[in-house]
Amino acid sequence: MDVINPATEKVVRTVEPTSRQETDAAIERARKALPGWKNVAPGDRARLLRRFAAAVDADLEHLAALEVANSGHTIGNARWEAGNVRDLLEYSAGAPERLLGQQIPVPGGVNVTFHEPLGVVGVIVPWNFPMPIAGWGFAPALAAGNTVVLKPAELTPLTALRLAELGREAGLPDGVFQVLPGKGSVVGQRFVTHPAVRKVVFTGSTAVGRQIMAGCAEQVKRVTLELGGKNANIVFADADIEKAAATAPYGVFDNAGQDCCARSRILVQAPVYDRFMELLEPAVRGVRVGDPADTSSEMGPLISAQHKERVSAYLPDGAPVAFRGSAPEGPGFWFPPTVVTPGSLSDPLVTEEIFGPVVAVVPFTDEADAVRLANDTEYGLSGSIWTSDVGRALRVSRAVEAGNLSVNSHSSVRYWTPFGGFKQSGLGRELGPDAVRAFTEVKNVFIST
Ligand code: TAP
């Protein structure tokens, strides 16, 4: 597989795809490593994870540079992404020693519960955030005593491969954490069908997520799904309109809009709609799109030529483009930040996840109308609410059917707090204090007295 730099279109490296036989052999190694890893004393497992975190920290600049070259992420984002893996490893290292059960007095004796690891966990990662999404799966899974096989996206395997090396250097035993670059239809699919894999953690499109869930049902396999989004950024007339408009581009164009949490619908209350658009235009034109290795760049290219074609198809001649930012000429899969104002709520620009730097602005009348529009989608991942009324902020937060909302902010991800989707945006939660428990089975033992 040729790994292409999306900012230059040059081949960065060639990676050998893992075959079906090699996938089976890796799953077998993970299965064999399980009893040893499960029985590492919790304090020692915690120490190994902290050493892994320290190795990521020491390699942070290298990991970030790899991601810039492989994914076209801006260097600022890529540093944050490597730091997120380090932080999550440290946070998860606090878990093994605190993975406590309960003792429940019952007639005739006492019940004791244990959180047992599930077994081999298969993690399938998309190309848009190769490092964090890998870490959200492997760090808590390892902390709970599982072994992990991980498949990065075909387009972006380099940082995951490096993370596996760092895990080995930190002292993870053989077979505990393996990264298998290759095709979803070969490696990922084998995670779903192989009986030794007890849980699949999948992040990607809703279409593939549905297939994974159906496949896992065959063996009643545990599954966590993190899928698509068409998230609303709701701007009420009582909000700080200057701030809402200045930040809106970063709520959607970060990572060139290739973000499941991108606020790709901006809903604006009618009385401030014109003022908001007046302020939004210079903010969008001001987004610095360019060489992702340059620290002043705020947005890089799209991931591939094929993806650029897919995004462009949403904007044929005559599309309702209000205004656009800039993008470099020449090699690279560049696409300018684009604001559209579709006349119909059933326009695909309003209903579909474009996964590029395209945002639809839609007016609304009152609070009920805003909630109705925000919920008029089968997705339910994230969203923002801009208002100066704390009561409204809470009412609307409770009414919007989405897993991760922010008030007067656009950030969705903090490793201390749970993350996941409502409706067809996913199943289960990652991150936060309960993440490790999602990789365990509760065992209940009765001891007769
Ligand atoms: P997908 O095409 O769904 O691919 C995701 C991963 O699944 C890739 O590693 C892919 O391998 C693999 N895969 C594909 N078909 C498979 C199959 N039949 N069985 C097992 N694995 C299979 O998504 P994408 O285009 O990479 O990522 C974009 C999507 O991910 C968007 O919808 C976005 O919203 C979603 N996403 C969601 C979140 C969260 S946290 N909710 C975060 C990031 C992205 P290949 O590389 O070989 O195709």
Report the separation in Å between the CA atom of 268 and the middle of ligand 1, taken as the mean of its atom positions: 31
Q: Is the CB of 14 under 6 A from ligand 1?
A: no
Instruction: Name the residue of 15, 19, 205 whose CB sits within 8 Å of the most ligand 1 atoms, as the mutation to test its pocket.
Output: 205
**Can you tell me the mean pLDDT for 336-361?**
98
Q: Is the CB of 128 under 6 A from ligand 1?
A: yes
Whether 226 is a known active-site residue: answer yes
Which atom of ligand 1 has the smallest separation from the CA of 126?
26
Residue with tokens 């068409």: 230
SS3 content of the chain, % helix, strand, coil (to 5): 40, 20, 35
Q: Could you tell me the pLDDT band of residue 126, with boundaries at 50, 70 and 90?
A: very high
CATH 3.40.309.10 in the chain is located at 232-407
**Catalytic position from the list 67, 90, 154, 226:** 226
Question: What pLDDT score does 433 carry?
Answer: 94
Report the separation in Å between the CA atom of 123 and the middle of ligand 1, taken as the mean of its atom positions: 11
Q: Is the CB of 122 under 6 A from ligand 1?
A: no
Answer yes or no: CATH 3.40.309.10 is held by domain 232-407.
yes
**Can you tell me the mean pLDDT for 102-124?**
98
Q: Is the CB of 215 under 6 A from ligand 1?
A: no
| CATH numeric code, 2-227+425-448 | 3.40.605.10
Give the model confidence (pLDDT) of 411-424 as tens digits.
999 999 999 999 99
Tell if the pTM clears 0.95, that is, is over it.
yes
Q: How many CB atoms lie within 10 A of CB 425?
A: 29
Which atom of ligand 1 has the smallest separation from the CA of 191?
20
Q: Is the CB of 211 under 6 A from ligand 1?
A: yes
Percent of the chain scoring above 70 in pLDDT: 100
* Distance of alpha carbon 370 from alpha carbon 136, whole angstroms: 32
Q: Is the CB of 189 under 6 A from ligand 1?
A: yes
DSSP string, 321-384: EEEE-----SSS-----EEE--S-TTSHHHHS---SSEEEEEEE-SHHHHHHHHTSSS--SEEE
Q: How many CB atoms lie within 10 A of CB 393?
A: 18
Element (H, E) at 405: strand 404-407
Q: Is the CB of 129 under 6 A from ligand 1?
A: yes
Question: What pLDDT score does 156 carry?
Answer: 98
Beta bridge partners of residue 10, listed in sequence order? none
Mean pLDDT of the chain: 98
Assess whether pLDDT exceeds 90 at residue 127: yes
Residue with tokens 């606090």: 94
Cβ partners under 8 Å of residue 177, min gap 6: 138, 142, 147, 148, 150, 164, 167, 168
Question: What pLDDT score does 402 carry?
Answer: 98
Question: What pLDDT score does 8 carry?
Answer: 98
Assess whether pLDDT exceeds 90 at residue 243: yes
* Distance of alpha carbon 48 from alpha carbon 239, whole angstroms: 47
**Can you tell me the mean pLDDT for 219-240?**
98
Residue of minimum CA distance from atom 48 in ligand 1: 184
Whole-complex ipTM: 0.96
Residue of minimum CA distance from atom 18 in ligand 1: 185
Assess whether pLDDT exceeds 90 at residue 208: yes
Q: Could you tell me the pLDDT band of residue 330, with boundaries at 50, 70 and 90?
A: confident
CATH 3.40.605.10 in the chain is located at 2-227+425-448
